[in-house]
Structure 1
């Protein structure tokens, strides 16, 4: 009998008696041999085996056969279902490639297969792209495979799936051959195609926010000379906390070279710019903008702009000869400005599209400022409440054009120079001023300086600076000196209108003649010789969650400064909440977790859950040994202490911080358990407030990953295992399932990603 086969699985000397033969040696069964091999090859991780409870190790080693062994390893989360099937099929050697352990299949294409994997030493999950065996001997395709890896490796951007490693995995079995692979960041989530197909079109605000991120990612790629050439819904990953990730640069056109064969059609017809369909060699960054518009069309309407008929020739003819219906015609609640932006992106003439991805990102940023989150855009304000806009430019045609764009929604006045504008501001203070940099007499920046010197409150009058002579970077510097926003000429009506709406919103909702009157009282009488100031009204509150965030940040900083929470606690907990809410099923009461307003508020207050610890004696909290019953009771009182403090504050400031009752609910209930064995009230099941149930998962993960007086921080795998398999009855099953899905995102958040 071979000693290597007879040796017990490493790290475990507690084999059950019935695995021993009559001589006291280990009885070598096929299941035992397989277990030993899986441990030796790291398909099953030895440290995870060691962390199993003795009874679980006994149950696995007593498996009557290899199928039962694999089933038990899957049940105990030592193998995934995919790994177990690979072992059954005799493909166990395929589960280790270089420094990576394959866990599951994420997708498959012509160039290869993408697996979910983890680094054997770091335990960080990754996406592992392995070249297809059928094309391994093709030098041109091998070159393209690694060209994708090198292209992505050059890009460092939060909205691009990055490449972190590449190599050739040499197999121990010569018959298996070596495998080419490269490694990308792994993010949980769903591609945009399936997201829209399963949940319906996105709200205009959500779509604009996601596509702002995608446009920003494309701007980074274009800066490096890369044209993606295959932007489409299935190549955009959306994480549970609504971060967009651009992936699959396999068709990217590299600067000064291309590996595309003449006559090859690259891309997906319905999302391919017309010039790309004619000649993929000749495209520039504007082809990606067309594909971006087509992808946004899908996200907003749930319809493909050019559905495939199964006949490529007919599809191409339709692409060149027809245009899709405007988004607004398909979905009327989409604002006209957003529909126009999509139409401009999809213009068949590249010169009529936006000049760059960066300008698209800027336009979409403006939309995210004024579009309501989670609801259709509202109608323009009534005439009696219209905002006053003053246009200051020495070009009459441009003033007339801007007036035509704005007059349907705003009260518009014009001035041809700075002196006229100053006089107008004195007579009838506007809400927004649009000023050109180069004006006769006083320049635009000098005009801004005069206005700001007299009316220093930036919420009284918002100023948009425009210029056709200065580059964007220079305009940005001028904006820092007093303007609120800047826009380079030439600009489109959607760009211009979105900037105006953004500035109006940033005024805190103060619009209309009443506001102008208030501004008039606060604006000094302007003259060339004297400036006189009068008191300003107090600025209105900012975002709805601002007060809650200030409260939770203060509490979190106090906990951090007293070593009761780890650095970064405030940011991490809020992001955990968003990731968990995004991954949760949306039926019944959990539908609240799909309401952006509710999730924003919960993420804002979540970090206060342990504020009551500040009332617990420090010597008890920092005790390195096991707490006795009285000490545990003292520590458990932090839930009621924190809740009572928050409710007391709510009694005085509920109108100013309406989220205080929700914060108190979280502080009191985050130690309740689903099976009713928690504290302080022993609530069970749905009687525990949903907010407290959700924060409980985030809080436990944060605690397990943080250092405590009695133990070091746990690694991600151990923390996930404790929550999902070793805490039966503690957590809401629906949220526990969501956590299992979002766990990789939790690890990225913990690592600062």
Structure 2
């Protein structure tokens, strides 16, 4: 019984193969057919047009006479290369000449070998066998690579799904503590994605907002309020306005969320892009462009771009959402408020992007609605 660690030897010599022989001389067709037929399935073509027709059966190799009256071998090769199904069939050139330039031209077209007439049976058998073994080996490797790529794609997709489910589970944990947020996570995630895509060609943002980064950014946004799990219920669920002391405690959720994700990132063997972005969003999405936000009082470009995007998305959704301590604002009033905070609370260019795609924001809110709004 073979041990799994033993090397694997592949024998392609016995593989069933089809050989197409193309020659306008009947004697050559007969001679080659008799030579190869005991080992291989044989197709015979006496002209270029017949060769092109039989090639659609996709033989494993073609023995091709170059000098033929109606269509020479080079023209046949060029026609085969124009068809994606026959383009990669290997071919051996049959020729009565041994001229270097002819050989060079043939190899340039993709010939795998040359057989010079008159035909010698042992040479034909050996060269056809060698080229078929190379072809089957190549095909086997391509197939194995394809299977490997499929498996890698499957595992990546599975890991991506597990990662997304884990993120959503953590985000929902914070949401359970604050039940009035409802579809807030889904809406803000989609708002941020829309803003990022709008800004990906903007000179200030294009170097960062690549398609991959936007995908990672979108994946990170549900964790923006994960720190709320550390806020006491009597503050988090208070139906009225918070006192100064309570508000001080509430603001710690940004640092609590950052610390939790930072610890998770330090536990990883290497940096994880979406965790790095999640830390920026969690810590800094309450910072303001003019420096009046929290927890660090950052301003302008010092605020990470993901946090700036999240700041607008989070504020807009808070405005249009009903809470026990406030009614939902109509969309137009929420829009006007965001615009009024251009250069104060929010990055001016992000506000401009918001204004440009405001109908998209309305559509997102409509798809994931909880409360009715008047426009």
- The question of a shared fold, defined as TM-score above 0.5 by the shorter chain, is answered with yes
Aligned to 2:182: 567
2:214 paired residue among 569, 593, 599 = 599
What TM-score, normalized to structure 1? 0.29
Q: Partner residue of 1:411?
A: 140
Of structures 1 and 2, the larger Rg is shown by 2
State the match for 2:34 in structure 1: none
Q: Which has the higher contact order (CA 8 A, sep 6+)?
A: 2
Note the C-alpha offset of 1:563: 3.2
Change (3 A) 1:680 1:541: same
Question: Is 1:732 aligned with 2:347?
Answer: yes
Quote the offset at 1:653 in angstroms.
2.4
Higher helix share: 2
Shift of 1:581: 1.1
Query: What residue in structure 1 maps to residue 244 of structure 2?
Result: 629
Q: Deviations over 1:335-377 (max 9, x none)?
A: x99xxxxxxxxxxxxxxxxxxxxxxxxxxxxxxxxxxxxxxxx
Q: How does 1:292-311 map to 2 (within 5 A)?
A: none
The alpha-carbon deviation at position 637 of structure 1 amounts to 0.5
Select which of 356, 362, 368 maps to 1:747. 362
TM-score, structure 2 as length reference: 0.56
Instruction: Assess, with a 3 A threshold, how the Cα gap between structure 1 residues 724 and 544 changes in structure 2: closer, same or farther.
Output: farther
Residues 548 and 605 in structure 1, CA contact (< 8 A), matched pair in contact too: no
Alignment of 1:461-480 (within 5 A): none
Tell me, in whole angstroms, the C-alpha distance in 2 between the residues paired with 1:578 and 1:545. 18
Distance in 1 between the 2:348 and 2:163 partners? 28
Q: CA deviation at 1:631?
A: 0.9
Q: Deviations over 1:537-586 (max 9, x none)?
A: xx844378545523431122223333345333343222211210122263
Structure 1 residues 464-500: Cα deviation after superposition (integer angstroms, max 9, x where no partner): xxxxxxxxxxxxxxxxxxxxxxxxxxxxxxxxxxxxx
Task: Confirm or deny: 8 A CA contact 1:592 1:598 kept in the other structure.
Answer: no
Q: Extract unaligned runs of 5+ from structure 1.
A: 1-335, 338-405, 414-429, 433-500, 510-538
Residue 655 (structure 1) aligned with residue 270 (structure 2): yes
1:481-496 to 2 correspondences below 5 Å: none
Shift of 1:504: 5.6
Is 1:723 matched up with 2:367? no
Is 1:508 aligned to 2:152, yes or no?
yes
Counterparts of 2:136 and 2:335 in 1: how far apart (Å)? 57
- Residue 289 of structure 2 corresponds to residue 674 of structure 1: yes
TM alignment of 1:48-447, pairs within 5 A: 410-411=139-140, 431=144
- Measure how far apart 1:700 and its partner are: 1.2
Give CA-to-partner distance per residue, 1:228-263, whole Å, 9 cap, x none. Answer: xxxxxxxxxxxxxxxxxxxxxxxxxxxxxxxxxxxx
The answer to whether the 8 Å contact 1:548/1:660 transfers is: no
- SS of corresponding position for 2:367: coil
Q: Are residues 742 and 410 of structure 1, via their aligned partners in 2, closer, same or farther at CA, if it must alter by over 3 Å? A: farther
Residues 618/506 of structure 1: CA separation in 2 closer, same or farther (3 Å cut): farther
Task: Confirm or deny: 8 A CA contact 1:646 1:664 kept in the other structure.
Answer: yes
* Cα gap change, 1:722 to 1:701, in 2 (>3 Å): same
Q: CA deviation at 1:505?
A: 4.1
Q: 1:589 to 1:728 in 2, by over 3 A?
A: closer
Q: Choose the corresponding residue for 2:325, options 697, 710, 719.
A: 710
> In structure 2, do the counterparts of structure 1 residues 623 and 727 end up closer, same or farther at CA, with 3 Å as the change threshold?
farther
Q: Contact 2:217 / 2:277 at 8 angstroms: preserved in 1?
A: yes
Deviation at 1:607, TM superposition (A): 1.3
